[in-house]
Structure 1
Amino acid sequence: MRAVLVVNPKATTTSERSRDVLVRALRSEVDLSVRYTRRRGHAAMLAREAADEGVDLVVTLGGDGTVNEVVNGLMSARLPSVPTGVSPAERLPALATVPGGSTNVFARALGLPREWPEGASMILEGLRLGRHRTIGLGRADDRYFTFCAGFGLDAAVIHRVERARRRGRVSTPALYFRSTVAQYFLGSDRRRPAIALERPGDATEEQLATVVIQNTAPWTYVGDREVNPNPEASFDLGLDVFALRQLRVASTTRTVSQFFSHQPDPHGRQVLRLHDMTEFTLVANRPQALQLDGEYLGEREKVRFSSAPAALRVIC
């Protein structure tokens, strides 16, 4: 089996020594080539090149941003000609994700351990046993995402965190909490909901303040705790939507606390939840922040979301 390991050398929880250990372990199972990212977007190019070369497996060592780039690279590759009846997912290399970031939502949603040595061991076992699953992806306009997207407040928080990290701050739950509070009270126009959700064959949902889209559950983690606005979201179904109609302090605090309950079921007059959606469009009357898989992508006024079922094979 031919494989390419795409390494983000800035991954927060790995070192050069740990990378060497991983490379030796992988080379005991596959014919491995190692390629390092040098800039934002480079992982997508490396993954597309690997797929075009006909490798069987692409392994990532990095965080959710690296995974997102690799997935988009794979999905943009030229599919080889194969017999009728072979799915697109079977024509692409499989994906294996060794957790190397600070949160690693995608890997953990697949059932992999949080730390990279245990995650790597599970992947090696999966390779030996031929264990994999086929998952669906989400799509925002022409870009894919693996576990979540956000339009509005949560994306603006991620932008604030990214600016803090460029100033040397470390990504921690405390940094996200402070950034959320600052964005909520100082950076949001909470009195004028700007977003509408349009879906084929249904009435438009008007005056939404912020929207979270999930391709699986959980949405994210705070340490070891799952955060679940849409607990029924699944890689095997379409997209789930959670939206708040208002960002009032009392109702927002109450709803957010429901994310963390043992059996989360966020609800209330200000809550909109939609399950297993095939496609919909978010339209805003003023620019809103957009994030995919925890990566800030700038501001948009319109984004079309769709589900891409059974799109990718993953080793887990």
Structure 2
Amino acid sequence: MRALLVVNPAATTTSARTRDVLIHALASEMKLEAVTTEYRGHARDLARRAAESGEMDLVVALGGDGTVNEVVNGLLHNGPDPGLLPRLAVVPGGSTNVFARALGLPNDAVEATGAILDALATRSERTIGLGLAAGTPGSDDEAVPARWFTFNAGFGFDAGVVGRVEQHRERGKRSTHALYVRQVIRQFLEEPHRRHGLITLERPGAEPVEDLVLSIICNTAPYTYLGNRPLYSSPTASFDSALDVLGLSRMSTSAAARYGTQLLTSTPARGPQGRHALSLHDLTDFTLHSKAPLPFQMDGDHLGVRTSVTFTGVRRALRVIV
């Protein structure tokens, strides 16, 4: 088997020594080419070249969710070929690793590598669906390129939190769960539209849903983790279906406390619910519009502001080694 290993040297939970051990372990079982990323977007470029060359049977991503997202977008640059979907393996090296954990992989890089080698030996793999987000035709964001996401996207409040965290990381702060919690509080205190939202959700065959403050799009459950605690915004979301949406139309202090508590105590059977909560399951196509530019994130990567985003749930897009 020929494989490309894409290594993010800035992965927060793996040392250079650990990465060397993992590379040797993988190289013992396959013909491995290991490449270290050097700039933002490099993982995408490497995966795209691997996919277009047809010379690699597998691409392995060693890093966090951002690295995985780049690799997936490189593998699927020309879209999924139903006859031969690309194959991906993930070794978690970030601070949260939602995608790897949602697949059932251990959160420890060494243990996950062992699980991947076992899966390769038994030819165990899974075909999963992904989300695709693009600029909406006729909107100011029409020219924004389409981009795949593996586990979630957010438009509005939660994307603002992600943007705040990235600003702190650019100043040298570590991406910790405490940092996220602080930025959630600050985003809430400074959110100007928390009582009357700007977002409208439109989908075929249904009336528009207006005045949403928050919109979280999930391709799997859980939505994210707080330490080792999984948080389920859309418990029914699955890699085997299309996309789920959680929308909130009110973020007053009392509503935020109620829905925040529900999220912290959520389970695979129950997520946030209430008069101001919208929960939609298995959506293939829908669009989110805003009356003003709002923050947008995908797989924990802040992508600036948007006024309109069109989403597509693609049920069979990628093969993963699990």
Q: Which moved more, 1:68-77 or 1:96-105?
A: 68-77
Once the two structures are superposed, the pairs formed by residues 150-299 of structure 1 within 5 Å of their partners are 150-261=154-265, 262=267, 263-299=269-305
Using the size of structure 2 for normalisation, the TM-score is: 0.93
CA contact (8 A) 2:262 2:272 kept: yes
CA contact (8 A) 1:90 1:313 kept: no
Identity among equivalent pairs (%): 53
Gaps of 5+ in 1: 80-87
The alpha-carbon deviation at position 92 of structure 1 amounts to 3.8
Q: Tell me which of 278, 301, 307 is aligned to 1:301.
A: 307
CA distance in 2, matches of 1:234, 1:90: 23
1:13 aligns with 2:13: yes
The alpha-carbon deviation at position 256 of structure 1 amounts to 1.9
The alpha-carbon deviation at position 192 of structure 1 amounts to 3.0
2:140 maps to which residue?
A: none
The alpha-carbon deviation at position 265 of structure 1 amounts to 3.1
CA distance in 2, matches of 1:250, 1:64: 32
The alpha-carbon deviation at position 77 of structure 1 amounts to 4.4
Q: Tell me which of 95, 102, 109 is aligned to 1:109.
A: 102
1:129 maps to which residue?
A: 122
1:120 aligns with 2:121: no
The alpha-carbon deviation at position 178 of structure 1 amounts to 0.5
The alpha-carbon deviation at position 188 of structure 1 amounts to 3.7
CA distance in 1, matches of 2:246, 2:24: 43
Q: Deviations over 1:54-113 (max 9, x none)?
A: 11000000000000000000001488xxxxxxxx25524310000000000000000001
CA contact (8 A) 1:52 1:78 kept: no
1:41 aligns with 2:34: no
The alpha-carbon deviation at position 172 of structure 1 amounts to 1.1
Q: Which moved more, 1:168-177 or 1:205-214?
A: 168-177
CA contact (8 A) 2:196 2:249 kept: no
The alpha-carbon deviation at position 189 of structure 1 amounts to 2.6
Matched position secondary structure for 1:91: coil
The alpha-carbon deviation at position 35 of structure 1 amounts to 1.1
CA distance in 2, matches of 1:164, 1:187: 18
CA distance in 2, matches of 1:170, 1:2: 35
Matched position secondary structure for 1:233: coil
Say what the alpha-carbon RMSD is for the aligned residues: 1.2
2:74 maps to which residue?
A: 73
Gaps of 5+ in 2: 135-145
- Count residues in correspondence: 308
CA distance in 2, matches of 1:31, 1:51: 16
The alpha-carbon deviation at position 249 of structure 1 amounts to 1.1
CA distance in 2, matches of 1:43, 1:52: 14
CA distance in 1, matches of 2:12, 2:103: 20
